[in-house]
Amino acid sequence: MAAGGTTPGRIPGKEPGRTRALERAGVAGRVVLAAGGGYGVAALATALLSLTLPMARSEAVATATLLSFAVMAGIVVLVFATRTALRALLIVAGTALVLGALLWLAMGGSAP
């Protein structure tokens, strides 16, 4: 034992097992947010673009579907690049809310 009653290489107050469990839970939460939030935002973006792109309906749907893969990848990168999971959640939720409102307006303000 080192001076002060601690084991060398160990930080006082940090339990290795608990820290690893919290880190794993944080990563698992980000994975769920990236998958679920990415899918939701990509679906909303696809629906909005399908209605608003100035081209034939079939071409607009195909283009929007192709772009949805980039949107999903962007959300995944964003979720893992943000400093906190809460900030990532707020960004994804805000994006979904804005896209949902724009989709609602594009549909004429009516339910599907």
- Please indicate, yes or no, if residue 8 is contained in any of the structural domains: no
- Please indicate, yes or no, if residue 69 is contained in any of the structural domains: yes
- What is the residue range of 66's domain? 20-106
First to last CA, the chain: 69
> Given pLDDT bands bounded at 50, 70 and 90, which one contains residue 89?
very high
What whole-number distance in Å separates Cα of residue 83 and Cα of residue 79?
9
Q: Indicate whether 52 pLDDT > 80.
A: yes
- pLDDT tens digits along 5-50: 555 666 665 666 778 888 899 999 999 999 999 999 999 999 999 9
- Please indicate, yes or no, if residue 2 is contained in any of the structural domains: no
**Predicted pLDDT at 7:** 59
**Predicted pLDDT at 70:** 97
What is the number of structural domains in the chain?
Answer: 1
pTM of the model: 0.79
- Please indicate, yes or no, if residue 54 is contained in any of the structural domains: yes
DSSP of 12-34: TT--HHHHHHHHHHHHHHHHHHH
Question: Which of 19, 18, 1 lies closest to 9, judged by CA?
Answer: 1
- Please indicate, yes or no, if residue 99 is contained in any of the structural domains: yes
**Predicted pLDDT at 34:** 97
